[in-house]
Amino acid sequence: MTFDWITFVWITKAARPSGRKHHWMRWFLCWAWLASVLALPAQAQLLVKKQRFDMPAFTTQSGVTLPISVGWEAYGTLNATKSNVVLVTHYFSGTSHAAGKYAPTDTQAGYWDAIIGPGKAIDTNIFYVISSDTLANLNAYDPQVITTGPASLNPKTGKPYGLDFPVVTITDFVEVQKALLDSLGIHKLHAVIGPSMGSFQALEWASRYPERVERVAAVIGTGAMDAWTAMRLERWAYPIKADPAWQQGDYYGKRQQPSAGLAVALAYVTQDALHPSGFNQKYAGLSQDVRAHQDIRHDLGVWEQLLASAQSRSQRMDANSLLYLVRASQLWRAGMGDNWQAALAKIRANTLFLPAEGDLLLTPAMANQSYQQLTTANRQYHLLKALSHSMGHLDGIVHIQDAAAQIQRWLHSDAPSLAPANR
């Protein structure tokens, strides 16, 4: 409950009648309001704990077998039939921390806390919500992240894998999640939902295991990466590879670290994730940049601002892990074969696409193409609804509350038949 002192003061002062006989009226209004506030149900603070899942032998899609560990979180209570599970799959630079706080004193809650929790769109009074860290998670040095990636120790050498870590794909992320769910005795999902790279995982779940997934939502996502977007992501990888301190990925434990390349890469990620209007609101203009007008050796002030923010974010991130996530995203297409349209056609789930109107990274046209493919393939429940704000791709994270009603309706839509379609 948030105590609104402004309203309290306004009630005690507003419409003051003169005279002692009306003195009681002001206090009656005041205490009546206070009683009504105290009677409102308080929304409980969602406190969560990171858990660990280990697999002694996981085989990647590239054919390499290795031990892996990932972190996971859960919100809500698993029902007796284990039929109330909602899997949330995270975005490129995200983690399994989708909602709640680890401690009441945390300054920030999980990235989708606006829609996950008691009484929210993904209501944890009803659903058991689960999310896990991906392999090669970018936040490899965050103490609340558990991941196996290039920064992890190779048990065969006792040294970090570096570039000897195998290429991992969206399918690998899904297979780890499936193993986690299997270990919990969960074999059917009420829903899978995720933003950006999380949407890739959600769609892969629904196409790879159509008999397990009743509902799937792709937020700011697509069923396949095109060549143009894949090359745009290569721009994120290049500054790291061009940094001499990267040392072909063999920088662990050494004095020189590819910090500069990683910061530049993150700066590009930030710019590409923002629509120009949102970017221009956040970062300063050029007319007052005196140094840039006087000396070519000075960087633009807006670049310095963007880079400083990226450097701050990079402290818990690993440069090689960014390269692996770029590659996983570049290679993405539903089914990971040569016909992503046929893979999407296998989906039996009720489907929701939520692109962002101003998204210049994974454009609304890409979401619409996937949506049209699904509506052509079958007549299940399908909905395409655009988020409309000024942040571009990031609207799927920071303005997800705008789609709360659509998400809630989708979650409570009639369960589809998961029997394979006749073809």
Please classify residue 158 by burial: count the beta carbons closer than 10 Å to its beta carbon, then call 0-12 exposed, 13-18 middle and 19+ buried: exposed
Residue among 93, 96, 196, 199 flagged as catalytic: 196
**Residue 329 appears among annotated catalytic residues:** no
Of 90, 190, 275, 393, which is the active-site residue?
A: 393
* Tokens found for residue 123: 């209501």
pLDDT at 185: 98
> For tokens 């990636």, what's the residue?
149
- Please give the Cα distance from 350 to 337 (Å, whole number): 23
Residue 226 CB neighbour total at 10 angstroms: 15
Predicted pLDDT of residue 323: 98
Element (H, E) at 264: helix 259-273
Q: Does residue 417 carry a catalytic annotation?
A: no
Q: In the annotation, is 390 catalytic? A: no
With beta carbons less than 8 A apart as the criterion, state whether 302 and 281 touch. Answer: no
Residue 6 burial class via C-beta count within 10 angstroms: exposed 0-12, middle 13-18, buried 19 and up = exposed
pLDDT at 287: 82
User: What pLDDT was estimated at residue 30?
Assistant: 45
Q: Residue 26 has what pLDDT?
A: 47
Question: Quick count: other Cβ atoms within 10 Å of Cβ 307?
Answer: 17
Q: Which two tokens stand for residue 10?
A: 């306004």
Contact in structure between 347 and 210 (CB atoms under 8 Å): yes
Render each residue's pLDDT in the chain as its tens digit; 423 residues. Answer: 333 333 333 333 334 444 444 454 444 444 444 444 343 344 567 899 999 999 999 999 999 999 999 999 999 999 999 999 999 999 999 999 999 999 999 999 999 999 999 999 999 999 999 999 999 999 999 999 999 999 999 999 999 999 999 999 999 999 999 999 999 999 999 999 999 999 999 999 999 999 999 999 999 999 999 999 999 999 999 999 999 999 999 999 999 999 999 999 999 999 999 999 999 988 878 888 888 898 999 889 899 999 999 999 999 999 999 999 999 999 999 999 999 999 999 999 999 999 999 999 999 999 999 999 988 877 667 888 899 888 999 999 999 999 999 999 999 988 876 655 443
Q: Which residue, 185, 167, 160, is CA-closest to 64?
A: 167
Catalytic residue among 359, 370, 390, 395: 359
d(CA 176, CA 21): 72
pTM exceeding the 0.85 threshold for the entire prediction: yes
* Owner of token pair 């399994």: 96
